Amino acid sequence: MMQKIERHIVLVAPEVHWNTGNIGRTCLGAGAFLHLIRPLGFSLESRQVRRAGLDYWPRVKLSVWDHFEAFERALAPQAGEVALFAKKGAQSFRAMPHLPRAFLIFGSETAGLPEPLLSRYADATYHIPISDEIRCLNLSTSVGIALYESLRITSPVHAWS
């Protein structure tokens, strides 16, 4: 029997509408849920968000939360199910846990994740290695890398592959 895989992408205070639109499209393609934690740097009603998500945006499994604690109370992630992504994360993204349910958490494009959140989950911080030639990867690129890596290491065969 195939194990149910559940992925949640959490964006804390995203600022750039086209990144969020692209991430929504990626989530839909991978069967993942998208959670946005306010404040948002754009309106979800903006044409640019819908354009980045193309005609897929209405089908994205989207939840918007007023703050991280509300999200946490509602979904109650268990120990080991949380992976925070930061430039200075302690572990490589390849070391993510191999669990059926996972919450991949990303910060805003300019500020990253808030320090209190990084401290609370200090043992669950990850980074995607990059060369010294660039400052960072684009947020939507990072989400895509982490999401598909988490699916690969959990279940090599998917119903949609």
Query: Is the peptide bond prior to 116 cis by the omega test (within 30 degrees of 0)?
Result: no
Report d(CA 50, CA 35) in Å as an integer.
16
24 is in an annotated binding site: no
- The tokens for 134 are 């660039």
Burial of 138 (0-12, 13-18, 19+ CB in 10 A): middle
DSSP H/E element including 24? helix 17-30
5 is in an annotated binding site: no
Report d(CA 161, CA 151) in Å as an integer.
11
Residue ranges of the annotated binding site are 107, 128
| Binding residue numbers for S-adenosyl-L-methionine | 107, 128
